């Protein structure tokens, strides 16, 4: 199964125009990963001098990268061609999650740069756009999989989670906007909508994880560019824990008292149970990755599948640490964040080299990257 994440063949460029590699939607995972490195810094249990300033710079970088990628991708005019490809279509979930991640960073870090009012306005704009695109992706891509795409029994891979995770990210980041929504029906609607999106994403995630696990135990062990996508399962599970905690924190402003207290219980007991399952998936992902590195792991955009899931794991663990006051969870959060930053530096460096090589390379046709 080819998971190089290349787009379907495109017509040759017009005479006189230089050939440029096509950009696939999977590259928006670079924005997701960069953005969550910044956002996760805010959730850490202990203050690290200078970290907030560094995180703000990284968030600005993620925002600039989002603008560049969005402009180039839309200019290509290849959305229909990518939707027709059964692998590339899965990564339509990356652009909405990139929007949501940068939008959340506007509230968490952007106030220091653009002021509080502008930060709220930016987050509303990016959240509404990202949530709408995420819901569209979560409905459209599975529909295409059922009606148009055809898959072999061993085709399931972590990328299948990408279309259904955006609603969970929208639920987690939407919690930040609940206090900024008008009190009354508007705030209640936002709160209930976030819980509905959380349920949509979590149930779909569990169904797909079962298919991925079945593929892993019944067919050949994945190799090459497929392996990093196993980590997406960790991100989906951890994101649900983060969403539960974030929504419980703002529930008293939107829900009646008995239900608000219930969200606190769900955030802790449900969150720690899902977190335990996420740790199991993390162990599996690490084992498969180490095995593949020994055999040779070629660089591909799927390397960004390491970053956002690890970042989600940081925020999930930090959420539980803050809710329980657990010292082991606090230390675990700090350790995971250090691994996240190191991994991000490696993947970002390799991506930059890949981009420079693609830009300077010559070819007779347009090849997707």
Read out DSSP for 84-136? HSTTGGGGGGHHHHHHHHHHHHHHHTTHHHH-HHHHHHHHHHHHHHHHHHHHH
Condensed to tens digits (0 to 9), the pLDDT of residues 164-180 reads 999 999 999 999 999 99
Lowest mean pLDDT among 1-5, 56-60, 153-157, 268-272: 1-5
Lowest mean pLDDT among 77-81, 175-179, 185-189, 280-284: 77-81
C-alpha to C-alpha distance for 260 and 287, rounded to whole angstroms:
40
pLDDT, residue 231, reads 96
C-alpha to C-alpha distance for 190 and 178, rounded to whole angstroms:
7
Residue 190, both tokens: 């936002």
Using CB atoms within 10 Å of the CB of residue 312, give its burial: 0 to 12 exposed, 13 to 18 middle, 19+ buried. buried
Is residue 226 scored above 90 in pLDDT? no
pLDDT above 90 as % of the chain:
80
pLDDT band of 23, cuts 50, 70, 90: confident
Output 219 or 207, whichever has higher pLDDT.
207
Q: How many helices (H) and strands (E) does the chain have?
A: 13, 0
- How many residues make up the chain in this entry? 369
pLDDT, residue 12, reads 45
pLDDT band of 268, cuts 50, 70, 90: very high
pLDDT band of 307, cuts 50, 70, 90: very high
pLDDT, residue 296, reads 86
Residue 250, both tokens: 């703002």
Condensed to tens digits (0 to 9), the pLDDT of residues 62-118 reads 999 999 999 999 999 999 999 999 999 999 999 999 999 999 999 999 998 999 999
Region of residue 48 (left: phi > 0; alpha: psi -120 to 50; beta: else) = beta
Residue 345, both tokens: 């530096």
pLDDT above 70 as % of the chain:
91
| CA angle, 341 then 347 then 351, to 5° | 140
Condensed to tens digits (0 to 9), the pLDDT of residues 235-261 reads 999 999 999 999 999 999 999 989 999
Overall pTM > 0.85: yes
pLDDT band of 30, cuts 50, 70, 90: very high
What is the pLDDT of the chain when averaged over all its residues? 90
């Amino acid at each position: 199964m080819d998971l190089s994440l290349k787009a379907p063949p495109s017509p040759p460029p017009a005479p006189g125009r230089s050939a440029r590699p096509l950009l696939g939607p999977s590259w928006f995972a670079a924005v997701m990963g960069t953005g969550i490195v910044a956002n996760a810094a805010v959730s850490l249990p202990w203050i690290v001098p200078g970290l907030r300033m560094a995180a703000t710079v990284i968030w600005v970088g993620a925002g600039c990268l989002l603008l560049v990628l969005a402009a180039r991708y839309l200019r290509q005019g290849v959305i229909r061609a990518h939707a027709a490809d059964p692998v590339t279509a899965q990564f339509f979930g990356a652009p909405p999650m990139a929007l949501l991640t940068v939008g959340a960073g506007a509230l968490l870090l952007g106030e220091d740069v653009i002021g509080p009012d502008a930060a709220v306005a930016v987050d509303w704009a990016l959240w509404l756009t990202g949530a709408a695109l995420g819901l569209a992706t979560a409905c459209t891509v599975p529909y295409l999989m059922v009606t148009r795409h055809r898959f072999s029994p061993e085709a399931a891979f972590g990328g299948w989670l990408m279309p259904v995770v955006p609603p969970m990210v929208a639920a987690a980041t939407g919690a930040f906007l609940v206090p900024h929504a008008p009190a009354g029906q508007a705030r209640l609607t936002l709160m209930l909508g976030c819980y509905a999106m959380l349920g949509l994403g979590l149930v779909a995630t569990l169904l797909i994880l079962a298919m991925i696990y079945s593929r892993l135990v019944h067919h050949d062990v994945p190799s090459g560019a497929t392996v990093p996508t196993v980590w997406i399962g960790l991100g989906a599970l951890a994101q649900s824990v983060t969403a539960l905690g974030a929504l419980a924190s703002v529930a008293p402003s939107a829900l009646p008292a008995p239900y608000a207290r219930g969200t606190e219980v769900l955030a802790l007991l449900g969150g720690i149970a899902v977190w335990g399952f996420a740790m199991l998936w993390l162990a599996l992902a690490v084992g498969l990755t180490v095995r593949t590195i020994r055999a040779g792991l070629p660089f591909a955009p799927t390397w960004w599948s390491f970053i956002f899931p690890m970042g989600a794991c940081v925020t999930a663990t930090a959420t539980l640490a803050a809710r329980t006051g657990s010292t082991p969870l606090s230390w675990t959060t700090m350790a995971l964040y250090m691994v996240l930053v190191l991994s991000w530096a490696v993947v970002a460096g390799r991506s930059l080299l890949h981009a420079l090589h693609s830009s300077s390379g010559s070819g007779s046709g347009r090849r997707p990257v």
